[in-house]
Amino acid sequence: MKQIIIIVSLIGIYLSFTSCRPADNRQADYDFTPLDSIITSWMNKGYYPGASICVVRDDSVIFQKNYKDVTPDTKVYVASAGKWVAAAVIGAVVDCTELDWNDSVKKWIPEFKNDIKGMITLRQLLSHTSGVRPYLPEPRVDNYNHLDSAVMEILPLDTVFTPGTRFEYG
């Protein structure tokens, strides 16, 4: 099966890579005008200060374009763009260890044993149905390097809805 992979680096979505260089002239097989129009409109509306897009098919770059001052070498924060990687890694851990999608937080993080948040499951955390209110520490940048510092930030937060009852991304 042939696969096409599209990687978009948008300052604001924050995904970056450094090896996207056109390998040949295969982009003539495709019309990337609609994709280019969408990204250009986002730039023109000010949604993002810059972007870099790379389309790969069968290990060959078939389209690559930079917008404003962003290039494939621009270093940007990963932020939410890393969530799919974290979910994939956690899924692999669930597949080959005792970790389970229905494990409660308190099973693995003792600080939550006497807290309602301790009943939240891994499944709810990864599906944005945990009920824990979104947080962003001062100075408005989440730069935690260790689990213990993230736990200490989340522990005092209240839930904003009953875990498992609705979706909220934040």
Residue 36 vs residues 6, 43, 65, 130, 150: alpha-carbon distances, Å: 12, 11, 8, 36, 38
Q: Which DSSP symbol is given to 50?
A: E
Q: What is the pTM of this model?
A: 0.54
Residues 157, 115: Cα–Cα separation, whole Å: 11
Q: Where are the domains of the chain?
A: 4-68, 100-154
Question: Chunked in runs of 10, what are the mean pLDDT values of the chain (170 residues)?
Answer: 43 37 56 92 88 86 92 78 84 95 92 85 91 65 65 76 85
Q: What is the pLDDT of residue 22?
A: 46
* Single-letter amino acid, residue 132: V
CB atoms within 10 A of CB 122: 20
Q: Cα–Cα distance between 8 and 43 in angstroms, integer? A: 13
**Helix, strand or coil, per DSSP, at residue 2:** coil
Give the model confidence (pLDDT) of 45-92 as tens digits.
988 888 888 888 888 899 999 999 898 888 877 667 778 888 899 999
The encoded tokens of residue 46 equal: 């000010």
pLDDT of residue 147: 72
Peptide bond into 134 cis (omega under 30): no
